[in-house]
């Protein structure tokens, strides 16, 4: 009897990330290259709106405590993995200045993923365990279609759901509880409300 052994697939490398087409977001997780198209408008509106809610009070200290770096789509080098969350934040006590490189090798304190049909699986099943493995303490997941917001906290290596909010609920959750905001402001409706 002839038994065929499966061909091993070569592990992707950072060079594969660099060689990805410019119109793709490339990530390297567990030796596998994931490429996604640029985000859809609704995804971008939610991400931009959340950044707007957080940057002034937490990065710039305008109407809030300051002390953070809040960045859109930073390239994170976490061990052998290369991830690009929609938003990430570092407390300046851990990262006083930005790196000289085009990437970050210090794990953030907080990450946010905006879920979409094309990224949901990777965000939930490939990236979330890597975030936990590297000790990222807080993770927010936002589904703009369902208008649902979930906040997780890392406890003893596991993600624990601390809040599920929807529609126009007020968000006053760690690490940004000092300056609450309304989910209605994220959805991008023409009237400014959900």
Cα separations in angstroms, 9 against 25, 31, 33, 34: 22, 10, 12, 14
Q: What ranges make up the beta strands (E) of 40-180?
A: 68-72, 76-78, 81-83, 87-91, 110-114, 138-143, 148-155, 158-166, 170-171
Contacts of 50 (CB under 8 A, 6+ apart): 87, 112, 142, 186
* Structural domains of the chain sorted by starting position, each given as residue range(s) with its CATH number in brackets: 39-185 (3.90.1570.10)
> pLDDT per position in the chain (194 positions), as tens?
444 444 566 899 999 999 999 999 999 999 999 999 988 899 999 999 999 999 999 999 999 999 999 999 999 999 999 999 999 999 999 999 999 999 999 999 999 999 999 899 999 999 999 999 999 999 999 999 999 999 999 999 999 999 999 999 999 999 999 999 999 999 987 544 33
């Amino acid at each position: 009897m002839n038994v065929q052994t499966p061909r091993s697939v070569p592990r992707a490398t950072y060079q594969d990330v660099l060689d990805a087409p410019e119109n793709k977001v490339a990530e390297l997780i567990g030796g596998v290259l994931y490429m996604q198209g640029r985000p859809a408008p609704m995804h971008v509106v939610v991400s931009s709106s959340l950044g707007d809610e957080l940057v002034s009070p937490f990065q710039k200290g305008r109407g809030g405590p300051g002390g953070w770096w809040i960045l859109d789509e930073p390239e994170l080098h976490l061990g052998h993995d290369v991830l690009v969350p929609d938003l990430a934040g570092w407390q300046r006590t851990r990262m006083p200045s930005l790196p000289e490189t085009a990437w970050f090798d210090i794990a953030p304190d907080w990450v946010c993923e905006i879920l979409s049909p094309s990224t949901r699986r990777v965000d939930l099943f490939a990236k979330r365990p890597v975030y936990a493995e590297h000790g990222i303490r807080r993770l927010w997941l936002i589904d703009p279609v369902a208008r649902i917001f979930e906040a997780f906290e890392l406890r003893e290596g596991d993600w624990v759901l601390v809040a599920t909010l929807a529609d126009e609920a007020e968000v006053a959750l760690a690490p940004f509880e000092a300056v609450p905001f309304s989910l209605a402001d994220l959805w991008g409706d023409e009237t400014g409300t959900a």
